[in-house]
Amino acid sequence: MAAMCGILAFFSAHGAAGAHADAIAGALESLHHRGPDETGVEVIGNDAVFGHKRLSIIDVAFSHEPLPYAGGRYLLTFNGEIYNYIELREELARDYGATFQTQGDGEVIAAGYHFWGEKVLTRLRGMFAFVIWDRQERRAFGARDYFGIKPLHYLQTVDGVYLASEKKALLPFAPAAHAGDAGVDTASLSHYLTLQYVPEPGTLHQGISRIGSGECLSWTPGYPIEVRRWYRPVFNPAPVPDQERLFTEIRETLRESVRLHMRSDVPVGSFLSSGIDSTAVVALARQFNPNILTFTVGYDVPGYSEIEVAQESARHLEVTTIPTKIGPQDMMDALPRIIWHLDDPVADPALVPLYFVAQKAAEHVTVVLSGEGADEFFGGYTIYREPLSLSAVNGLPDQMQKGLRAVSKVIPQGVKGKSFLERGTTPLEERYYGNARMFTEEEKQSLLRRYDPSVRYTDVTAPIYAEVPDLDDVTKMQYIDLYTWLRGDILVKADRISMAHSLEVRVPFLDREVFDVASRIPVELKLPPRSDATKWAMRQALQGVVPPAIVNRKKLGFPTPTRVWLAGEMYEWTRWIIANSAAGELIDLSYALRLLDEHKRGEVDHSRKVWTVLVFCIWHAIFVARTLDPGITRNQSALLTKPVVGSMVA
């Protein structure tokens, strides 16, 4: 049933599931974009209601959800792709006598759960969020994949437990006390203003949480929800006696991952930017499909467009690339729709070009490959070089560092050396909390109406650092990003924005076998000390695979000219939205407007901070004040609302 789906499941605490079927059917329509090919709402006895929206990828004619197994003992609804399902299917049939009624990958999850229990999770190679109801044990079990590619939210009320792919499907069931500004989680808002995203497991709505990456949830009526982690990525960098052997292993593991990620009964394309990550995916994918279509995006603003470089790479690889150009009006028109799809605000301007390139891709294919995860796995961010550049300071005795810290405090802002001394004398655990750094604590005191000094970014990062005390600083930064930036920003936008267009994004770098190789690379082969290169080992492995001009090129990553447009074409629109926002009880709108005006006058580049506030104000207008209609429409499809008959009735 390999499928990108919208999941909405309800498990009753009082044996009254059927009474909730109509409400589930109504809420499910907010997920129509995730699966327009098939809609179903099924009542499972007195205990459960399964709602699903299916985008069919494999075993298109069959594998309908919820999928029964073992005579109806288990019911499964599943969002994702299991790339090794053929191999697992053969093993289960050979070693356990498992039988299958479909040709899809979802039934492999159900069969694996039957024979292996929760250990099935460690056997799956792919991206997934799924929910299983065990009718015999009266137990609900849900899980997310290793790195958090596919989402799963949950809400517990007096009626029971709800699980859904997107938060918007749970909002109708949230307690009335959590409506309006009173329902906004102010700690998550504070984190958003620092990080530009809401960190897992929280959301901006009180009471609604996310199952974290590599986590699972279980619940039995009468007992509390149990959420636990089933997977933790382990970095184990080690000396490499044979570099060429390592490079070969990286290249061949990536090639095999791309091959598996291309398993599909519908057309597969690929995004293509100017950097090595997406170019490598395309170069490897064309070995299995020389006619693969690629898609890129850009602007008419000098210095921001990736189209020309992507076209050059496409010519070298002899593949077709389809470009899309967007302007400021496109951005203003699309932003409310984008934010509605996100559920929670993510202040990453790259969401906008991604929205348009996904829209274009969906006109031609149902599945696209993309390069997310390469930077976190292989050491690709420039900021990862910071521990190397600061070693001359942070390697000094504590007393000397304390003295240099005192010196840095008296150096005026903007004077060369001040930032270097401050960062060099600040421990990594206090200094690094991810790629995005929006508002400082001092700035948030001015911006937030109810600033709480006890809420700090270290609330998010300290437990993560505590898990890897013995790693070097560079690898610690990678580990932090796996649990913050990757799953909070990168994968949220990849999932929500592709699903907005009923398009499936597959990410071959974010594969357990690829991580196994990447986790063993020592720092000196990720970031050579006498070079400014990043993810050096990966680049060496891809010599001869990607075009020579791309091997050492710094990626732009779908850059957006928000700095230019916020001071120009988007200024009046942005000012009107902030000035008329109903979010004034939560943030100081006049402070935000001052930032916008200073940016327009060219005094300071406040574009990222202004964008962060703008996105929140639009989110607030859609989900809290309900004063903005994002303009989401759909073609009505017939709801298959019915009780399950036969052996599945309790």
Q: Say which CATH number the domain at 29 has.
A: 3.60.20.10
Domain co-membership, 533 together with 583: no
Structure tokens at 138: 């009266």
Domain co-membership, 76 together with 203: yes
Residues counted in the chain: 650
Is 370 flagged in the annotation as binding? yes
Smallest CA-to-CA distance from 597 within 569, 618, 565, 566 is with: 566
Element housing 28 (H / E): helix 21-28
Q: Per the domain annotation, does 474 fall within a domain?
A: no
Could you tell me which residues are beta bridge partners of residue 511? Answer: none
**Spatial separation of the C-alpha atoms in residues 301 and 448, rounded to whole Å:** 34
Pairing of strands 268-271, 367-369: parallel
**Spatial separation of the C-alpha atoms in residues 595 and 566, rounded to whole Å:** 11
Query: CA 315 → CA 247, 251, 283, 319, 321, distances in Å?
Result: 26, 22, 11, 6, 9
Max intra-chain CA distance, the chain: 78
For the chain, residues with pLDDT lower than 70 are: 1-4, 55-64, 414, 554-558, 633-650
Domain co-membership, 254 together with 372: yes
Q: Per the domain annotation, does 612 fall within a domain?
A: yes
Q: Per the domain annotation, does 54 fall within a domain?
A: yes
Is 297 flagged in the annotation as binding? yes
For the whole model, what pTM was predicted? 0.93
Domain co-membership, 496 together with 582: no
**Spatial separation of the C-alpha atoms in residues 17 and 207, rounded to whole Å:** 21
Contact status, residue 472 vs residue 521, Cβ threshold 8 Å: no
The contacts of residue 594 (CB under 8 Å, 6+ apart) are none
What is the sign, positive or negative, of the torsion defined by CA atoms of 138, 139, 140, 146?
negative
Instruction: Indicate which CATH number applies to the domain containing 532.
Output: 3.40.50.620
Domain co-membership, 218 together with 254: no
Q: Per the domain annotation, does 312 fall within a domain?
A: yes
Beta-carbon count within 10 A of 412 CB: 6
**Spatial separation of the C-alpha atoms in residues 526 and 540, rounded to whole Å:** 10
Of 179, 201, 231, the position where a domain reaches its end is 231
Structure tokens at 546: 């990607």
**Spatial separation of the C-alpha atoms in residues 608 and 419, rounded to whole Å:** 20
Q: Per the domain annotation, does 85 fall within a domain?
A: yes
Looking at the structure of the chain, the number of domains it has is 3
Domain co-membership, 176 together with 67: yes
Domain co-membership, 156 together with 259: no
Domain co-membership, 247 together with 164: no
Q: Per the domain annotation, does 175 fall within a domain?
A: yes
Of 524, 551, 578, the position where a domain reaches its end is 551
Q: What is the strand order of the sheet 320-325 is part of? A: 320-325, 293-298, 268-271, 367-369, 504-506
Beta-carbon count within 10 A of 396 CB: 15
Domain co-membership, 171 together with 202: yes
Is 371 flagged in the annotation as binding? yes
pLDDT digits (tens, 9 = 90+) for 561-590: 999 999 999 999 999 999 999 999 999 999
Domain co-membership, 122 together with 250: no
Q: Per the domain annotation, does 138 fall within a domain?
A: yes
pLDDT at 59: 47
Domain co-membership, 216 together with 305: no
Of 186, 201, 231, the position where a domain reaches its end is 231
Could you tell me which residues are beta bridge partners of residue 506? Answer: 369
Element housing 343 (H / E): none
Active centre residues (catalytic):
5
**Spatial separation of the C-alpha atoms in residues 173 and 79, rounded to whole Å:** 22
Domain co-membership, 544 together with 582: no
Cα-based torsion angle of the residue sequence 206, 212, 216, 217 in order, rounded to the nearest 10 degrees: 0
Smallest CA-to-CA distance from 392 within 352, 424, 353, 356 is with: 424
Is 452 flagged in the annotation as binding? no
Q: Per the domain annotation, does 557 fall within a domain?
A: no
- Domain hosting residue 365, numbered range: 243-380+482-551
Name the 3-class secondary structure at 263: coil
